[in-house]
């Protein structure tokens, strides 16, 4: 207890045991940035470096943070208009607001738009063209067929002269105009013009750019895919919405309507080839009414580009059309005009076959 033995010298770390802490700085919780760094302290306290965004990024952190989710799945892309707005919830694909005429047509069940295991995309009745899109007459749209009011219960093409005139050289020239709505969508324009040219490869139909002719086909991107049956006179609207209608077989389908052809499943002899399950069909849709058609001596064609798919216009996800006698025959899956489609054009318009 003498001053010598209790002096700082004898109680220093070199002489005393057990040694007390060297210095307050080293024994107390580190407080300075230098001594609390990973190099001097163990276990290392969370330093700015270890808690920074860099070390907690998906590449360096474990367990993975929410950022480890692929950016594509957690980013605004999936909530963007392209995937969650008009495109997937548009009339073309689901809700009643988008119950646009054609996603009920044969092309809804084509390989591009549906599969045998999934019902067609349309689940609501077809509507008139959207507000502000006026056509020449009031319309009722059945499936993808536009019918002037008052002719709902008649075949518009047999109720009047509906063929396009034949020129002296044996060809049928049909002027067309593509709306400026497609100006920024060159691929859509190319798809449309290529499909129109396909008619000239196997028939006498020639779609030509409009040049002051009185009667012409006016191709627009309206609320779905639809057309009148046959020639109406003056500007005749064919709607090919950019959101779901610009495919080669759909363009051909709508142009066949404009040439005067009805759907295959409405043929006068259809009951010998398909069974229509009206209990499964959307009530207001009349696309399945049998018509006293001129079949031009051609057989019923399950492969026609004009044939509806198995689930078209279903109100309960059950089939609306079943082939007979073999219910497993594929229908509504054409990707282009069938040989019978081409033969009928040539016979109706007197082209050389």
Query: What are the tens digits of pLDDT across the range 91-134?
Result: 333 333 333 343 334 343 333 333 333 333 322 333 333 334 33
Q: How many Å apart are CA 258 and CA 196, to the nearest integer? A: 12
Residues in binding site for Zn(2+): 253, 257, 263
pTM reported for the whole predicted model: 0.61
With respect to CATH, is domain 140-349 assigned 3.40.50.2020?
A: no
- Count of other CB atoms within 10 angstroms of residue 68: 13
Number of H helices, E strands in the chain: 7, 9
* Six-digit token string for 317: 């996800």
pLDDT tens column, 159-207: 557 899 999 999 999 999 999 999 899 999 999 999 999 999 999 999 9
Average pLDDT in the chain: 70
Q: How many Å apart are CA 119 and CA 17, to the nearest integer? A: 85
Q: Which residues are catalytic?
A: 254
Domain boundaries, the chain: 140-349
Residues in binding site: 253, 257, 263
If you count them, how many residues does the chain have? 353
């Amino acid at each position: 207890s003498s001053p010598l033995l209790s002096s700082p010298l004898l109680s220093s770390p070199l002489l005393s045991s057990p040694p007390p802490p060297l210095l307050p700085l080293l024994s107390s919780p580190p407080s300075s940035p230098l001594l609390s760094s990973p190099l001097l302290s163990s276990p290392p306290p969370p330093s700015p470096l270890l808690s920074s965004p860099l070390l907690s990024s998906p590449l360096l952190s474990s367990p993975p943070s929410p950022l480890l989710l692929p950016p594509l799945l957690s980013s605004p892309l999936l909530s963007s208009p392209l995937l969650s707005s008009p495109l997937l919830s548009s009339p073309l694909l689901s809700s009643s607001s988008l119950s646009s005429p054609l996603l009920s047509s044969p092309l809804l069940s084509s390989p591009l738009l549906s599969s045998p295991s999934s019902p067609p995309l349309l689940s609501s009745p077809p509507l008139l063209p959207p507000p502000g899109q006026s056509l020449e007459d009031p319309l009722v749209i059945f499936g993808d067929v536009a019918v002037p009011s008052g002719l709902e219960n008649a075949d518009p093409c047999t109720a009047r002269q509906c063929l396009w005139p034949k020129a002296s050289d044996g060809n049928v020239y049909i002027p067309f105009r593509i709306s400026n709505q497609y100006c920024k969508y060159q691929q859509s324009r190319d798809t449309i013009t290529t499909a129109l040219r396909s008619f000239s490869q196997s028939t006498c139909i020639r779609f030509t750019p409009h040049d002051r002719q009185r009667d012409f086909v006016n191709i627009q991107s309206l609320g779905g895919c639809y057309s009148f049956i046959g020639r109406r006179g003056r500007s005749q609207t064919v709607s090919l919405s950019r959101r779901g209608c610009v495919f080669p077989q759909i363009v051909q389908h709508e142009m066949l309507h404009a040439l005067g052809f009805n759907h295959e499943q409405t043929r006068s002899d259809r009951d010998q080839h398909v069974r229509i399950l009206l209990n499964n069909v959307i009530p207001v849709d009349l696309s399945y009414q049998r018509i006293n058609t001129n079949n031009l001596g051609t057989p019923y064609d399950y492969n026609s580009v004009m044939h509806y798919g198995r689930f078209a216009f279903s109100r309960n996800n059950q089939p609306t059309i079943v082939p007979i006698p073999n219910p497993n025959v594929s229908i509504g899956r054409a990707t282009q005009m069938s040989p019978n489609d081409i033969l009928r054009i040539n016979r109706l318009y007197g082209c050389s076959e």
